[in-house]
Amino acid sequence: MSDEIKQLPKLWTGDHYNEGIGRDDIFDKLREECGVFGVFGIPDACSLGYYGLHALQHRGEESAGMAAVDSATGKFTHYRNMGLVKEVFDQQKLDGLPGDRVIGHVRYSTAGESKLANAQPLIFKYRDGDLAVATNGNIVNAPSIRKELESQGSIFQTSSDTEVIAHLIARSSKDFVSAAKDALQRLIGGFAFLLMTNDKLVVASDPNGLRPLVMGRLAGGYVFASETCALETCGAEYERDVQPGEMLVLDRDGLRLDRFDKLERRATCAMEYIYFARPDSDINGINLHSARKRMGQRLALEAFIDADIVTGVPDSSISAAIGYAEQTGIPYELGLIKNKYTGRTFIQPSQELREKGVKMKLSAVRKVVEGKRVVMIDDSIVRGTTSLRIVNLLREAGATEVHVCITSPPFKNPCYYGIDTPDRKELIASTRTVEEIRTTINADSLHFLSHDGFIEAVGGNDGEFNRGMCLACFDNDYPTPVDPTSEKSCSC
């Protein structure tokens, strides 16, 4: 294990963690870090950036930002603020970002503080001009690199792990591309980077491809995004995935391909397939709606339940619920409805008001579930509090039985690569048996999709698909070195 990994500090402890999951959302669902979007060589790039970021809004609802460059003049502009994309940007703000090159970002913070200084893209002035940095993911060894740089005189502006790459680049005596390559080689973790200067754009994916990143073409230029749905939204044609360890350099001479590291082991995050990415996106050529339907179908084969209706927890479990219903022949019904307009301001400290908040955000359809034996499909169980609340909603609405089926194996281990997860001791599946979890969430039965069943469902007919996923949250097999004594590392 490297010295950098051994020195990882314990940042996710005590009240600090409470700023993460559950800080402002009554449900303890997993959170993706963020989404990135880039445009190169297309006029009015910021307009494309607006639509691309809007398509990626589900990956981060805390802040949004864009940096733009006009290649004709080299002028560099930027704007970022707290809030949703539609709240941060209006036409006046977009008009203030002229150019044919843009990188953009939507953010959800975990251990990093929720403040404007941490909103991305991060912007820096250095010897060669302007530098903007946007990333999706987490740098596991950022704390040790930061400590090293601070001992050498670096002054950090943010608490974001993303800032370390800017300091590594700025301290190098090499040209920008070479400095960026050296900096990327220092990083351990899961990340998708967009780095932009006054005359260049560098795009890079970590050596394991943990975080998704795709490239598209439009009007003679290039578009980069965390998900293919963003390409569809702005009218770009999907070209290919950015490969693990790959570094793309775009400037006035066009696009050239390079590598900063060899492919160690392709390990795209399993939770992208289960939960994070939009169902209309494709990852590694696999459509997520179809994959989630297959998860539901496979779960039906592994855990058939004699019931009256099947319902899915909105929104990520709807596809799987349809698959389960199709496989079993049990009718699929909208037994649960999500109110998408409640926001977060209703969360109050008292338990009574918190429970009312649950019903404001998610409702059981009484006329659908009353007197029925219900199979409730969900994507995962984190602490168990969400599942308990939803099971109780269905019971209060008159369901006679509630059977819970989860389209993933038990979530037992924390993620170090950019997903907001609790410490291991707070993950209910790490300390309790399936029967104990069933009792805790007040379900009549509880079934998880098997490890092999999940792999086969995602890969479809590709029997070798296991080569392409990180399943560490289920099986503790991390694709990079991590420090098991560290609760969690800092996030972007």
> Would the annotation count 405 as a binding residue?
no
Nearest to 423 by CA among 9, 145, 20, 135: 20
For residues 211 and 205, the answer to whether their CB atoms sit within 8 Å is yes
d(CA 141, CA 321): 39
List the structure tokens of 378: 């969900």
**DSSP assignment of 267-315:** -EEHHIIIIIS-TT-EETTEEHHHHHHHHHHHHHHHS----SEEEE-TT
> Would the annotation count 24 as a binding residue?
no
d(CA 422, CA 490): 13
- Output Rg (C-alpha) for the chain, integer angstroms: 22
127: exposed, middle or buried (Cβ count in 10 Å: 0-12, 13-18, 19+): exposed
For residues 46 and 94, the answer to whether their CB atoms sit within 8 Å is yes
Find where tokens 């496989």 sit: 327
d(CA 246, CA 259): 4
For residues 78 and 97, the answer to whether their CB atoms sit within 8 Å is yes
> Would the annotation count 470 as a binding residue?
yes
Nearest to 177 by CA among 100, 111, 253, 260: 260
List the structure tokens of 352: 């009574």
d(CA 417, CA 470): 10
490 catalytically annotated = no
Cis preceding linkage at 378, omega within 30: no
- What is the total residue count of the chain? 492
- Does residue 226 sit in helix, strand or coil? coil
> Would the annotation count 490 as a binding residue?
no
d(CA 106, CA 57): 7
Instruction: Write down the catalytic residue from 34, 46, 229, 234.
Output: 34
Name 52's bridge partners. none
**DSSP assignment of 423-459:** -GGG-HHHHS-HHHHHHHTT-SEEEE--HHHHHHHHH
For residues 283 and 465, the answer to whether their CB atoms sit within 8 Å is no
Give CA 183 to chain center in angstroms. 23
> Would the annotation count 151 as a binding residue?
no
User: Which residues are annotated binding-site positions for [4Fe-4S] cluster?
Assistant: 269, 415, 470, 473
Binding-site residues, in ranges, read: 269, 316, 378-379, 415, 470, 473
Residues taking part in catalysis = 34
Binding site residues for Mg(2+), as ranges? Answer: 316, 378-379
